[in-house]
Structure 1
């Protein structure tokens, strides 16, 4: 008789050090650390995003007639705007660096979470596959959600056509992907493993949190990013390759940011 397949059969062996912690004080400190990290990074973004959606729903204008810009001007003077855009990029890089640093302090090497250069070719192919798997259906979901009135109109960029627009959009895409995948996947799931959470429970929590800090986009962004979180998180659990996720996420954002900048106003199907 063949053995039935379980969740563990689909999960890569966790790196050393991820066994559930037994010391009560250490468990409390790790739990507190997780709450602190989320409160200053993407968890706080989820709260702001939920409030933003509530405000949008209370407006007299229908949700799909309201617009949200992902990369918007932050100042009137061009060089100050550039500085503010780069400050936002630096903040995101710092969020991801915080998650990576805390894992290092906890005794994990970056190779333990898939941030190494052992498989650049396979990581690049995996990134392209993930980008296609999530990006193409994600665009369809957004257009459908907007058509039925449960999503705002998303403008990936409203930056002026300046010499620094493309570099800033590329940097923003890279910083978004770095912050989200390091904090949500590598850091959060690793710490939840140490607290004794199951792989499925950890996966679901990080996916729901990922969807929550995209609530400002409406129901489409919420559902789409939950699906993305489930897929990306499970891929990491199976392969333990974080660069694959960072690359895939960055490709999705790059296509969205630069594609919108190039096509906006030139094609009828793009709001």
Structure 2
């Protein structure tokens, strides 16, 4: 029997969007806005403050700390499961799998890896330049991309953390939001700008350089997604960028002064 497309009301679609964002990146955006207000009302300039990522919880007990890190990686993926579940329940294209709907699958591994790596290369170097420039201008904090203690599992955890960030952000900010916003009859330029603005907002805790860089990245990612209708290449891109940032910082920070 053919499954007909489900057409929920605009109010229901809007509620889904607010719930998913409220449980995930929208919540992060609110806290990030509060964080930048806090930073701007301190006596120190932004570039004299630091933002720590991937911090140890119990550095004196490595195995317990590892358990915390795994939990911190796993639980943020629950909103991804919710978003995919909602897409499956109210799929504008009927019986089509939500994974296939947004291109979050392994049907084109070579294409996804190639496009993802190329996009990462095009974004990575300018992104680093923007970060360093924003710090020099006093518009950004010093981002300490890895605050983990030195353990055998440090690098694998940083890689998993990078992959989690990529899956969380791209499936929700691109796959879920673009599908739902389109169902609300939003125009594509508006969808791209709104999604990119949310992406930039939840990086405001880093400073205005983090906001601007991720806003631009959000626009680029949106254009790539609209061109190929696949989230997976951008999951690859995001993972490569974050692995470079997290692992690169862990390896280089003790030896250089400009990070």
TM-score (norm 1): 0.89
Aligned match of 1:228: 217
Aligned equivalent of 2:245: 256
Greater Cα shift, 68-77 or 257-266: 68-77
CA distance in 2, matches of 1:135, 1:80: 34
- Tell me what 2:192 maps to: 203
Q: Does 1:149 align with 2:135?
A: no
Supply the distance in 2 between the matched residues of 1:209 and 1:181 (Cα, whole angstroms). 12
Out of 90, 112, 134, the residue aligned to residue 74 of structure 2 is 90
Aligned to 2:206, which of 203, 217, 222? 217
Tell me which of 40, 43, 62 is aligned to 1:78. 62
Tell whether 2:34 aligns with 1:45: no
Kept in 1, the 8 Å contact 2:131–2:140? The answer is: yes
Distance in 2, matches of 1:130 and 1:59, equals 37
> What is the CA-CA distance between 1:45 and the residue it aligns to?
0.3
What is the root-mean-square deviation of aligned Cα atoms in Å? 1.5
Between stretches 84-93 and 223-232, larger displacement belongs to 84-93
Q: What residue ranges of structure 2 are gaps of 5+ in the alignment? A: none
Q: Secondary structure at the match of 1:265?
A: coil
* Structure 1 stretch displaced more, 243-252 or 68-77: 68-77
Gaps of 5+ in 1: 1-15
Deviates more, 1:260-269 or 1:124-133: 260-269
Say if 2:116 is the partner of 1:127. yes
Q: Of residues 165, 177, 198 in structure 2, which corresponds to 1:176?
A: 165
Tell me by how many angstroms 1:217 deviates. Answer: 0.5
Residue equivalent to 2:87 = 103
Alpha-carbon deviation of 1:117?
2.3
Distance across 2 between alignment mates of 1:195 and 1:154: 37
How far has the Cα of 1:17 moved from its partner?
5.7
Greater mean alpha carbon deviation, residues 138-147 or residues 56-65: 56-65
Q: Does 1:57 align with 2:40?
A: yes
